[in-house]
Amino acid sequence: MELHWRIHWYERSFASERLLAPSGEFADSWRPAPVDELVALLLFYARDGFIDLRLATDLGACWDAFGAALEPDALDESIRTYPLLEHALLMAAKVAEKTVGLPLERLTEHGVKLRRRGRIAIRLAAPHPHASQPQLYADMGLIDGLLAPPGDFHAFIRRQIFPPREVLHERARSAQRQRSSSTLGHSLRVLWRYGLAMASLSRAPKIFGRDGFVTFFGGRDR
């Protein structure tokens, strides 16, 4: 369930090919290759919208445990094999470089060129979030759209802005609400919160390094 929910939105082969145990006598002792575990954690980090430090800490621990054994430019093979994951992977690694010191230049031989969508996603990263829970979920959804592969815009609209009614029912049940939102009501609230997120960036300090990366991580009170 974890792998399905957090990874399959961007690409549908990596998890089944790299993270599931093979059948046979060695299945119980099998574990993914260290680089595939690192890739999975980076994708989890991106899918959780770079919120707080829980997954960032996991990335730091993964590097401490396995980093020395990884080949230089270890992410490049994964990107060549699963190109739809490139943007989310590199942006997650870029954020993790700033939050927990993940050595990005050792993980890829290609410099990370920040496009506008990537810049916005990185600026929304909140290691110490102060926003309300609905706003944090909206930020996560917005980052999902910003990191989605080319051609995924309509899928993003369907899963974040106009989700199926059963998804809204499940969210209401999880939040212990008596009734779920209408699809239209949900979409209007989400778009409004996306607007709040973008407005907060226009008010936040902008401090760029030589590579164009925003080095200031500020909480966004909303």
pLDDT in tens, 94-139: 999 999 999 999 999 877 788 899 999 999 998 888 888 889 989 9
The residues facing 214 across adjacent strands are 208
Distance of CA 136 to the CA centre of its chain: 13
Position 205 scores a pLDDT of 55
Q: What angle do CA 180, 159, 19 make, to 5 degrees?
A: 120
Please report, for the chain, how many H helices and E strands are present, in that order: 12, 0
Split at pLDDT 50, 70, 90, the class of 216 is very low
Position 15 scores a pLDDT of 86
Position 112 scores a pLDDT of 78
d(CA 189, CA 185): 6
The model carries a pTM of 0.85
d(CA 185, CA 198): 20
Position 30 scores a pLDDT of 86
Split at pLDDT 50, 70, 90, the class of 22 is confident
Between residues 204 and 50, the one the model is more confident about: 50
pLDDT in tens, 171-212: 778 777 777 778 899 999 999 999 999 998 887 655 434 444
Q: 50-78 b/e with 16+ CB inside 10 Å = b?
A: bbbbebbebbbebbeeebeebeeebbeeb
Please tell me which of 14-28, 34-48, 157-171 the model is most confident about, judged by mean pLDDT: 34-48
Record the tokens describing residue 176, joined without a space: 């212990």
Please tell me which of 28-32, 64-68, 208-212 the model is most confident about, judged by mean pLDDT: 64-68
Q: How does the average pLDDT of the chain come out, rounded? A: 84
Position 89 scores a pLDDT of 94
